[in-house]
Amino acid sequence: MQIRAAILSAPNGRFQIETVELDPPADGEVLVKIAASGVCRSDWRVAIGTAPKPMPMIAGHEGAGIIEAVGPGVSRLAPGDHVAFIWAPACGDCFYCNGGKPNLCGTFTPLLATGLQADGKSRIRWKGEPVHILAGLGAFAEYAVLREESCLPIRRDIPLELAAVAGCAVATGVGAAMNTAAVRPGASVAVFGAGGVGLNIIQGASLCGAHPIIAVDANEAKLSLAKEFGATHPLPSDDAAISRIRALTGSRGADYVFEAAGMPALQEVAFRALRPGGQLTLVGTAPDDSITGLPAAKITRSELTIRGSFYGSCNPQRDIPRLLNLYAAGKLKLGELITRTYRLEQINEAYADLVSGVLARGVIVY
């Protein structure tokens, strides 16, 4: 079938809207009619070449849609099912999956790196050439053929544009607070970077009962949004931020500090906000070749914990339905995250808005 898709043909930051040819799903694959896909920074890194990927490629790694057809051997999904996309599919039967850490399952990692399907082919062609897909998804298109493991069935009463962001920014941010750090009630929290992920760390910390919850960001609009998501003390990111965090935490520093931007320089600032015995969780993904400089002696003397959080340490099968239930119960904000929706044809405008910092989350709707 012929579909419209946003293609990256060179790492120049330009998406081209093109008509491409999509094959039917093969063994273990499904055809999804995409309803919405989130505008996320990880795709932008691919678009500008700081995270190099094979091209031509269809990016887009967060999304939701409705199953239109299933290939042979698909058992968990049927046409009509509403699904959220999972950009880190898990095999369900390896050391990590069996150990309750499916976010670390590496079974599909080599396959996803190729941007192709299990048989080494692409299901998409453009001008006769195979097109790669990002994260096994390629969500910036009207339809996608995906592995069954990349789709999570969800309840049908959740608007699909909200389910699209739940699968990435929300699972990553809320999961970092709830799963990775396991923030305790009454604990003090400081979050550096209040974008899509940071706002969700804030709302995760709020759900955990933390207080105070301090948000640090250079962008004033993001700070006022941070308050809506549960931040008790929004602080501009200036030289005084660390001393103000100390003043708010009994002169000690925060129990839990999070860095959501993936910037080594900001990680080093966030480190200084920790109390002795505190825990710094690095949530934002820094550029592949970057290095963080943290004062080694202080880590030892103050018994500090530095840890990474990948995909919010989440088990998507368990956590995404749980997040959607919290949303349905009025306890989790999703709609407030979406600053603006775009049509696929407006994708370059959407990324210009992302880069200029005016979006908490932008979503492309089909």
Instruction: Take residue 360 and report the two structure tokens written for it.
Output: 């908490």
Q: In this chain, which of 105, 178, 273, 304 binds Zn ion, going by CB under 5 A?
A: 105
Residue 115 to residue 122: CA distance in whole angstroms: 8
Stretch 16-55 residues interacting with Zn ion (CB under 5 A): 40, 42
Stretch 171-210 residues interacting with Zn ion (CB under 5 A): none
Q: In this chain, which of 26, 48, 97, 286 binds Zn ion, going by CB under 5 A?
A: 97
Q: Among 73-81, 146-154, 161-169, 351-359, which window interacts with Zn ion (CB under 5 A)?
A: 161-169
Q: In this chain, which of 39, 64, 160, 168 binds Zn ion, going by CB under 5 A?
A: 168
Q: Among 76-84, 95-103, 274-282, 310-318, which window interacts with Zn ion (CB under 5 A)?
A: 95-103
- Sheet (strand 213-217) strand order: 233-236, 213-217, 189-192, 254-259, 274-282, 305-308
Given the complex with Zn ion, which of 164 and 254 has the nearer CB atom?
164
Closest CA to 143 of 164, 123, 170, 119: 123
Does residue 91 bind Zn ion (CB under 5 A)?
yes
Instruction: Take residue 40 and report the two structure tokens written for it.
Output: 């996320």
Strand stretches in 173-322, DSSP E: 189-192, 213-217, 233-236, 254-259, 274-282, 305-308
Q: Among all chains, which residue has been given the structure tokens 């910036």? A: 140
Q: Among 51-59, 100-108, 132-140, 178-186, which window interacts with Zn ion (CB under 5 A)?
A: 100-108
Given the complex with Zn ion, which of 25 and 38 has the nearer CB atom?
38
Q: In this chain, which of 94, 111, 269, 365 binds Zn ion, going by CB under 5 A?
A: 94
- Cβ 102 to Zn ion shortest distance, Å: 6
- Cβ 107 to Zn ion shortest distance, Å: 5
Residue 171 to residue 134: CA distance in whole angstroms: 19
Site string for Zn ion, 205-224 (x = CB under 5 A): --------------------
Residue type, 208: C
User: Site size for Zn ion, by CB under 5 A?
Assistant: 10
Residue 122 to residue 310: CA distance in whole angstroms: 27
Residue 61 to residue 138: CA distance in whole angstroms: 6
Residue 299 is inside which H or E element, if any?
A: helix 296-301
Residue 359 to residue 337: CA distance in whole angstroms: 9
209 burial class (0-12, 13-18, 19+ CB within 10 angstroms)? exposed
Helix axes 347-356, 41-48, angle to 10 degrees: 100
- Cβ 40 to Zn ion shortest distance, Å: 3
Site string for Zn ion, 108-147 (x = CB under 5 A): ----------------------------------------
- Cβ 61 to Zn ion shortest distance, Å: 6
Q: Among 8-16, 102-110, 144-152, 274-282, which window interacts with Zn ion (CB under 5 A)?
A: 102-110
Q: Among all chains, which residue has been given the structure tokens 């600032």? A: 269
Contact positions toward Zn ion, by CB under 5 A?
Answer: 40, 42, 62, 90-91, 94, 97, 105, 107, 168
